[in-house]
Structure formats: structure tokens, C-alpha cells
Amino acid sequence: MTIERMEELVALLNEYAHQYYDLDNPTVSDAEFDALYDELVALESSLGIVLPDSPTKRVGGKVNRGFETVRHRERLFSLDKSKTKEGLTKFIERVGEENGEWVDLTLEYKYDGLTLNLTYTGGRLVRAVTRGDGEEGEDVTLQALTIGDIPKQIPFLGSVDVQGECIMRLSALAAYNASAKVPLKNARNAAAGGIRNINVEEAASRKLSFMAYNVGYHEGIRFATQEEVHEFLVEMGFCCREYFRLIRQGDDWAAWLDEVEAARPTLDYLIDGMVLKVNDLALREELGFTAKFPKWAIAYKFHAEEVVSKVLRVVWQVSRTGKLNPLAELEPVDIGGATVSRATLSNISEIRRKDIRIGSNVFVRRSGDVIPEILGIARHNEDSVVPEAPKFCPACGAPVEEKGIFLYCSDKEHCAPRVVAELEHFASKDAMDIEGLSEKTIEQLYNDLGMRRTVDLYRLRVEELLTLEGFKEKKAANLVGAIERSKKTTLARFITALGIPNIGKRTAEMLAETFGSLEALACADTMTLLALDDFGQVMTDSVLDYFADREKQENIRALLDVGIEFRVDETVEGPFSGETVVLTGSLEKYKRSQAAELIKAKGGKVADGISARVTLVVAGADAGSKLAKAQKLGIPVIDEAAFLERLGE
């Protein structure tokens, strides 16, 4: 049951995130998204598994292909969050324990807009890029040049990336809407939509602003603290004086949060919380990162808002796994500038438990501008009716199967939404990476060419594609070529593409590295799988069940028969060949991220934490718990001097 709940949460969150990040058009409120996201995080933590397309592994949204794609010089992370002061207390205690004493923190506004990364070289603004997925973003330099408080020149002549939030002040939004034919819904989306608009004049017309809060990649200058970073930004002429405080031991930071939240309605821009960061940058290097968040920062989210709306109907959507997910369509309500008209209901059991009825008034909660949550019933009305569970799939009409509290479409082969989703996952960037195979195209292949299985992709001909709307010779040839090129892939990508439940990209990479071949993985036993790092019983059962399924075996054979083969990436020979290295503490010559790249370039692998597969630890100044754990396990440890010597320096 918990796995199916996770699948449901992932599907919902990914759709909501797509609307929010990629389309700049939130369809649900922050509160519902946060609640569902937190539920997913809790399930992942308790079960020790992460589904392949879980939003907890992703930063931000996809890159808009209407803009040039730019790779960030340093990755841009999202922030972990807490809705309670107790959560912040735990965060403060944790970073203090890591350091062995109190750790000074900084407190800043959490602006609600669009993150930008500005690159300055020789004092001149040379590029502005959106955060995107954290690894790469959209080049929006021309749009950013229309923002008056982004300096085009700064006194610092080295190279530096300045990060901040593009916002639209509420006064600017009001002025724009006073004369606009189509008024903008809210300031957050007005800012995001302006920057991500190909029409530069539209960006200029919105009178956007930029609030700087961080320095990323930099050369020619060093910072010891976030306080120094803030002072640098002020000196360079950035707008960042709105709120910045240092939290020292004994300070009543909780009272400061309450003061800001009380003053929130008086601000001329949107903030949805506050950000706490470790002030000491060297300690940040020691604390490190998770796959998505820095461990040295956290966002405090302000309280949610609540309104009453009416349930108009309950609709059922079909997921990739065939599960039917109920959604409540609400009488549209405006909360903080966002129109809320839908809320998830999870399953028929939740509908019954909350006594949700069509025609009834319900309490709807939101926080910020994205995602809704039905808290409960405000009142039933004379026309209120209990929604019935469907007996037939709303997408294909096949009989519905009950499995516990969930409902499933019984047609695995022909139900359009699940087949399309399976094909889309197979072709995705982390899987077979078939360029040009969009969801829209897959729907055409399903509807017009009768495609039902992933192997059918490799039998597509240009002549067939030319019968589809929107396809001409070049586009058809490009897609067939991309499908053909995808035949030469890696074992890890192929494992990801199979869509084994609970097995994501990183786990697929570990399985490929451990077993070396698909045949060996298919023959793996329980004990071998359980012995892998962070591999629990649920993940083990998922792998065993998948390869024991006769239909899955036939599908794999069919894919291999059409010519899919696994290339072996060339092994780099060097002084770290065969080593799995953990970096801890601060190095004088290199940042840890730079040192990690050097290790990989010299033949080694880099791990985040200490485990049995780690063969070497590089310990810089102020190394902490990782060093102690490595020494306890007898893992070899070298200092920075020995590390540089091994590099040949």
C-alpha cells in the first residue's frame, strides 16, 4: 500500500511541479504541494527507497527549449524546509553537533520569484541564467538586462556568479494590471513569465526587480562567511539590504521570525518564509549537500492560508501504473493571487474518511502560491451526494480492479494513459534519452500508429511518421535517427528505462556497476542485493519480482533482439584508479567540488558518505564525523599534502 501511495504522490507532484516550474502557471496551492511532498519524503525515509521519477531528487523544473541551454559553473540547489520552529531548532542543534559548539547563522527573506544566476567577468555582466534543474538553465541575458537594479558593471574585476531572485513588486504589478488587456494573476508568476518570455519588450514592460542573496562560483576573491558575501553584494551595488541579520548564541531568532511574518502584508513584494544559513563557509564545505539540498541551510515556511470552496465533481485520472487517482474539482477561489480549482483526494478511502461529497463546502488550505489541500468539511448542502468509486476505467472502459484501498485499470496493454506514460519514461533523458520523442508525439504514435510496447519504437519507419500530423521528412528522419542512436546505451540507462519499481537513476547506476551485466543482475539473489549499500527489502523485492515476471523477461529479450547494446565507458587510468574517495574538511588549494572533479579525472570515484565500499578518505582542516568513522572502520586517510602529491602537484 505504501509503495502505491508513493507512486501516486510522485505522479501528482510531478504534474504540479510541471505546471509551476515549466509553464509558470500554478494550478494548485503551496500547502497541498508541501503536504504531499512531506508525505513522500516521510515514506521515502521510512522505507529507504526513492522512486525513479521522484521530485525529491530534482531541483526546479525543466529547461525551456525556446532558450539557449547553459550549464552552471556550480550547481544551484534547492532548500530543505520546515513549517515549524521546532524543525529549525533541530536544524540548529544538528549543525552545532557537527561542529561541536554553537554555530552562527544568518537570517534572510525567502523571496517568492524566479531564481537567476548572474555571471560577471572583468566587472561586466556577461550572462544571466535561470536555475532550471540546478545543473543547467536558460540563457535569459537579454531579459535580465531590462531589470533596472541588476548592475551592468560592478567594481570587482575577477569572475563571479551572483545569485538572487527576480521578483515583481506588488506596486509594479498593480500598475501593470491597471492598463493590461490580460491582467497578471500574481507577482511570482508575473516575474517568472516575464523573464522566460522570448519577447524582451514584455520583460521590460513588467518593471521587474532583482534581490541578490548569494555568491556562487568565484575567482580572484575569497570569502570566509555569509556576512562577508552580503557585504560584497552591497558594495557591488546589488539590492540586498531588505533584511539581513546574524543569529548569535542567545538571540531570540523565533521572535524575529514572528516579527517578519506579522509585517509580511506590509511588504511591497512576496516572501513566503525566511532562510537560515550557516555563516561559516568552511563549515558549509564540511556539512556538504544531499542530492537536492545543502545541509547548511533551511527555509522556514510561513503559515498556510485557508478558504472555503465547493466541490463541483470528483474525477479519476489513470497513472503509469494503472492506478486510478481521484481529484476534486473545486469552485475556483483566489488565494493570494493564485486560482485554486483542484485538490487531490488520494483514494476512495480518504474520500470516505473525510466525508467529502460533491456539492459540499470544504476547507481548503494553501501556503504561498502553489498547491491546495482539503482539510475537511465546512458544511454539507441539500444537493450534496457521496461520490461513487468507478467500476470501469475512465480512460479505456476496462473493468476496475480493487487492490486494498486503491483502484486499478485491468487493461495493462491498451489503456492509453499508462501506455503513454511508460513510453515517455522509457524515452526520457535519464533512460534511453531519445531526443524529440515528446509526450505529444507518443500520444500520436499510440492513437494513429497503434504503438503499445517500447520495443515498437525501434520498428518505426520514416514513412509511418510522415502520415502523422506535424511530421515532414526532416522531422521524421531526425526522430528515427534518434531512436536508432539510442540503441547504443549504457547498462545503467537501460535499467532505468525498464522502470523497475523503486529503482531510480542512481540505484540503476549502482546495480550496473555492481553486476556488470543484465544477465548477472537478473540472476541476483536476495542476500546479494540486500548486501548493497542502502538497499532494503522493498528494493530487493522489486528487482527480484521484476526479473521473475515472464512478460518482463520477454520484453527485455525483444529489446535486445532489435539491437540494443551496452557500451562500456572507457576507464580513465590515473593515480586514483580503483579508489572510491570521500572528501571531508576544508582544503586550502581547492574547494571540495573541485577536488572531487580532479579525483574523477584521475581515475577515481567520489562518494558522499563513509561506507564499506570507500577505500580512501582525504581529510582537510576541521574534518569532522566522517574522519572519525573512517578511522573506526580502518579506511586509509591522507591529508591535503599527500592528496596534492598523488595528483602530481
Q: Kindly list the catalytic residues.
A: 110
Helix (H) or strand (E) holding 629: helix 625-633
Instruction: State the Cα–Cα distance between residues 348 and 406, nearest whole angstrom.
Output: 7
The three-state secondary structure class of 215 is strand
Answer for the pair 6, 350: CB distance below 8 angstroms, yes or no.
no
CA 473 vs CA 189, 437, 462: distances in Å: 38, 16, 8
Instruction: State the Cα–Cα distance between residues 646 and 576, nearest whole angstrom.
Output: 8
Answer for the pair 369, 173: CB distance below 8 angstroms, yes or no.
no
Angle at 374 between CA 368 and CA 379, to 5 degrees: 125
Answer for the pair 558, 480: CB distance below 8 angstroms, yes or no.
no
Exposure string over 29-42, b if 16+ CB within 10 A, otherwise e: bbbbbbbbbeebbe
Helix (H) or strand (E) holding 447: helix 439-449
Residues ≥6 apart with Cβ < 8 Å to 488: 565, 567
And the C-alpha cell for 545?
519480482
Exposure string over 125-151, b if 16+ CB within 10 A, otherwise e: bebbbbbbbbebbbbbbebbebbeebb
Angle at 80 between CA 431 and CA 336, to 5 degrees: 100
Residues ≥6 apart with Cβ < 8 Å to 244: 106, 107, 108, 230
Helix (H) or strand (E) holding 513: helix 505-515
Instruction: State the Cα–Cα distance between residues 91 and 103, nearest whole angstrom.
Output: 11
Which one, of 284, 286, 210, lies nearest residue 242 by Cα? 210
The number of residues making up the chain comes to 649
Which one, of 364, 353, 369, lies nearest residue 405 by Cα? 353
Give me the half-sphere count of Cα atoms (radius 13 Å) on the Cβ side of residue 494.
25
**What one-character DSSP code corresponds to residue 80?**
-
* Bridge partner list, 361: 310, 379
Instruction: State the Cα–Cα distance between residues 28 and 343, nearest whole angstrom.
Output: 7
Answer for the pair 60, 132: CB distance below 8 angstroms, yes or no.
yes
